[in-house]
Chain A
Amino acid sequence: MDWVIEAHNLTKTYMMGEFEVQALRNVSFNIERGEMVSIMGPSGSGKSTMMNTLGCLDRPTSGEYILDGESVSEMNDDQLASVRNRKVGFVFQSFNLLSRLTALGNVELPLRYAGITEGRRERAQAALEAVGLKDRMTHRPYELSGGQQQRVAVARSLVNNPAIIMADEPTGNLDSKVGKEIMNLLLALNKERGTTLIIVTHDPNIAEQTQRVIRLRDGELDVTAEDKGRKK
C-alpha cells in the first residue's frame, strides 16, 4: 500500500492549569495516496487537534506519525515548517488571506517560503486559473466574495503541489450554494490531480461525497460508527 499518512497511537494532551485535557487518545489509522477522507465528530471531539497534528502545525504528545515517508514526531520547529511548506496545503474555515496582498500575492506566499523565485508568478497564476479566478488575480481579498476568497485559499493550498490538502470546515463560513461550489472544486482537484484530501466537516452531505469517514468522539476513533467502508 502507498500510505501518505501513517498514524500510530497518536495522543495529544493539553494542560489546562491543573487539569489534563486529552484531545486525542491513542488514535491509529492510515490514509492512502489519492484518497479523500472526511473527519466528523461532535464539537470538542478533537477534530481540529487531529488536523493540526496531521498538518504538522503541532507535535503529538506521544505516538508516531509518518507523513509521506517522513517521520514527523521528532522534528524541530524549522523542520516542521519545511514539511508544511513542501507537503501540506491548508484551507481554513476563515480563509486566512493577507488583506495587504493581492490574490496573486497570497497564492505566491508558500512559493516564497520555499525559496522559489523563478516561475513563481506563473505557477501562482496557473493555480488561480485552476480554481477559476483567472480574471481576479490582482484583486485584494476585500474586493472578493467569500466564495472567491476561499477559492484563492484553495489555489494557495495547491500551488506547492503538496502531498496532501487539509481543509478544516472549509465551507463553515459560506452559504450552502457557495459551499457546494467549493466542495466540487476540492473534489475535482482530487480527481484530476490525485491530491490526497482530508476534510473536517459537520455536514453529512459533504461526508457522503468522500470515500471514507473517520469519526471521532472524545478524542478517540469511533469504531462503531466506521461502518461505511469504502465507496467507489
Chain B
Amino acid sequence: MSFTQAIFEALESLNGNKMRSGLTVLGIVIGVAAVIAMLAVGNGAQASITGSISSIGTNLLFVFSGSADGPPGGPGSGRSGNNDRPLTLSDADALKDPFAAPSVELVAPAIQGNGTLTFAGENSTTTISGVTPDYAIVRNMELAEGEFINQENILGRMSVVVLGPESAIAIFGHADGVVGETIRIEGQPFRVIGVTVAKGGGAFGSEDNAAYIPFTTAQARLIKRGVRDEVDVIFIQAVSAEAVPSASEEVSNIIRQRHRTPIGIDDFTVFTQQDFLSTFATITGVLTIFLGGIAGISLLVGGIGIINIMLVSVTERTREIGLRKALGARKKDILLQFLTESSLLSLIGGIIGIMFGWLIAFVVGKVATATGNNFTPIVGTDAIILSTSFSAIIGLFFGIYPASRAANLEPVEALRYE
C-alpha cells in the first residue's frame, strides 16, 4: 500500500472514533503547548535580563569597596571590615592613567543617596546620584531634552539637575518642556538642565526614576560621607569588549597598590558586565531547563496516552487485523497502518500544541506589558523544532509496541478472536 493511502486510511480510522482520538490528541497538545510556552517564557526572561544588563552601559566595569569573598556581604554591600579603605576620588583619578591602565577608556566615579524632589507641592523620593560628565557616556545615557552635567557645573558646584523621565513625570506630570524649571531637592533649589531618554525597568531598578547632580555639589551639600572624597562606586568603560578582562586586571592592580592590600585580601571588588550577564544567564538557564523539563513530563504523559489508546485499538481490531492478513496484508502493511495512526495523533497534537503554546506565550507577554513589565516571551524556532520532533518521535516510539503487536498477530488466531 502506498504512503498517502496509509495516511488516508489512518485519518479515516481516527475519524471513526472522534472522541477517543480527540482526547489522545489533547494529551499531546497540552504537552507540546506547555513545552513551547515554558521555553518561551524562559527565553524571554533571559533576553529581557540580558537586554537590561546591556542597556546599563557598554564594555562596563564596576568597582565597589568591600571584598567579594570577605564576610559579610557581597559586592556593593559596603565595606566589610574595619581595616578596609573606601574608594576615593583619587583612586578614580589614578585609574585614568593611560600608562598604568591602557585598557581603560573612561572613568566615572559616583556617590548615591536617596532624596526627595519637590515642585509646586508635588513630592517624589528617588535616587540622587552625584556624577561627572563621563557618566553619561559610560552608562549609555541619552538626553531627551537639555544637556547633561558638564565640567563647568562640576567646577562651580552648581545647583543643576538632570532628571530621569519617571521622576520628571512624578513632579511635573510630564517629561517634556521642563528644562529651565527650578525644583527643590531636600529643600534646596536646583535648576533642571536635562531629561534622560526612558530606558525601561532594568536589573538594577529603574534608571528612569533618578536624578543626577554634579559630583562636587552632591559631595558638598547633599550626600555626606565619612571620608573626604569618598565615592560609592566607580564605573569604568573599557576601550573594547576584548579589553574588559585586561581592564579589570589593571584596575585591580592600581587600587591594590594604592590601598596597600596584600594579594588575595582585596578591600574592593571589580565586577564586569559580563559577570552579571553570566550570573543571570546561569540562573535563567536553570529556570528554562526546569520549566521545560516539567513541560516535557507532560509531553511524556501524552505519549503514554498514545500507547494506551493504540493498545486498546489493536485489541479491539484484532479481527480486522486478521481479516487484512487473510486478504494479503504483510507484516509491514499492518505495522505501517498502526504507526501512521499513532504518528498522526501526535503530529496533529504537535501542530495544535505549537499554536496553542504560541498563544499562551503571547498572552503572557500581553499581561506582562499591561502590568508594566518589559518582558516578551520568545517562541524560538529551536523550541518549535524540538517539540515537533519530540512529539513525532513520541508518536513513533509509543506506536511501535502496539503496532508490532498488531503486525505479529497470527491470522488464524486473530480471525477467531471474539
Contact = CB atoms under 8 A, between A and B. Distances in A.
Contacts of B412: 52, 57-58
Please classify the interface of chain B as helix (H, G, I), strand (E, B), loop, or mixed, using the class held by over half of its residues.
Answer: helix
Contact-residue size bin, chain A (C-beta under 8 Å from the other chain): 20 to 34
Contact of B12 (A77, A100, A110, A117): A100
A30 interface: no
Interface string A76-96: 011001101110001010001
Contact of B324 (A58, A113, A114, A115): A113
Given A96-B319, A112-B5, A57 B331 contact: no
Contacts of B333: 113
A100 B415 contact: no
A179 to B, nearest CB: 21
Among A81, A98, A109: residue with most chain B CB under 10 A? A81
A84 B326 contact: yes
Nearest to B410: A58
Contact of B326 (A82, A90, A98, A160): A90
Contact of B328 (A81, A92, A98, A100): A81
B327 A156 contact: yes
Interface string B316-334: 0001100111111111110
Given A57-B415, A100-B13, A117-B2, A82 B328 contact: yes
A55 interface: yes
B16 interface: yes
B3 to A, nearest CB: 12
Interface in A5-43: none
A92 B411 CA distance: 13
A77 to B, nearest CB: 6
Given A100-B16, A113-B1, A115-B1, A85 B327 contact: yes
Interface string B323-361: 111111111110000000000000000000000000000
Interface of B: 1-2, 5, 12-13, 16, 319-320, 323-333, 410-412, 415
Give me the 3 closest cross-chain CB pairs, A-B, nearest first.
Answer: A85-B328, A113-B328, A78-B330
18 contacts: A57-B326, A57-B412, A58-B410, A58-B412, A78-B330, A78-B332, A82-B328, A90-B327, A92-B415, A100-B13, A100-B16, A110-B327, A110-B328, A113-B324, A113-B328, A113-B329, A113-B333, A115-B1
